[in-house]
Structure 1
């Protein structure tokens, strides 16, 4: 009797583009500049993305363009949290020190500050124009398209 193995990844079809943005601006400032330069209307969602049992939360902005059936998401890739460090109980002095831990939404893209996800079933948008427009913003260091097949945690990009 033959054994048939069905892989779930075979059915995965990326109907979105993912753009990495290197920029030291705050999330609200970058959203404003993207709205201004790309003609978007990104608004912050009421709930941030929480992963790793609320160990990290990532700000997310969204705009649904019903005219072109496109959803735009701007999400922070880096979350820095201060946590109390563990000490030995036999310490003579009571020092409460904190450690800053960095969490990434997509661990394989550790240096990327923000991700812009453009979802469209038929991918009817000019990706090169979007990249050039974002790159023309003076505060943006660099931007490029991310190969979705190289991402290990694709489920972190599901925002619904």
Structure 2
């Protein structure tokens, strides 16, 4: 009688399988993508669906599946500006305020994350050096995924 074996792969197995570069820059997402594509020889394209958490909360995502090197590159915005209408009492018109939400809340200072899913450990230093040469990038650096409490938001 054959016994069946069930293999369970824990979610954490996938968690540490990607590397991250944190990018600080005031560039718009499309300009950031263009600059990274030019400087790092990538081919990131905006994916059809943004990363959505609810109807008001969505983050732009640009992706490139580099099949030749068995790597997937994903640039995701860490910021989402939500417009809120603040009702007023009578005399004044309602005010509109803007609130910024973050994909990775404990890293509010980061504007973008470049996520690299690679079969092999990739040498990030070279990519970080290229990104830091982009004129409007304040700084870019590798980020330890283990240190992020909300890293689950980066798994999609």
Which TM-score applies when normalising by structure 2? 0.88
Among 75, 90, 93, the alignment partner of 2:91 is 93
Number of aligned residue pairs: 147
Among 111, 114, 117, the alignment partner of 2:115 is 117
Query: What's the C-alpha RMSD, in Å, of the aligned pairs?
Result: 1.6
Aligned partners of 2:15 and 2:155 also within 8 Å: no
Q: Provide runs of 4+ in structure 1 moved above 3 Å.
A: 8-13
Aligned partners of 1:15 and 1:122 also within 8 Å: no
Structure 2 residue 134 is the aligned partner of structure 1 residue 132: no
The structure whose residues are more often strand, as a share, is 2
Among 46, 49, 56, the alignment partner of 2:48 is 46
Secondary structure, in 3 states, of the residue corresponding to 1:47?
Answer: coil
Among 106, 109, 112, the alignment partner of 1:108 is 106
- What is residue 20 of structure 2 aligned with on the other side? 18
User: Deviation string for 1:45-82 (max 9, x for gaps)?
Assistant: 0010111x223110000000001100000000011111
- What is residue 148 of structure 1 aligned with on the other side? 145
Aligned partners of 2:63 and 2:74 also within 8 Å: yes
CA-CA distance at 1:121 after TM superposition:
2.5
Structure 1: give runs of 5+ residues left out of the alignment: 1-7
**2: CA distance between counterparts of 1:153 and 1:114?**
15
**Change in CA separation of 1:10 and 1:118 when aligned onto 2, cut-off 3 Å:** closer
Which TM-score applies when normalising by structure 1? 0.85
**2: CA distance between counterparts of 1:144 and 1:16?**
15
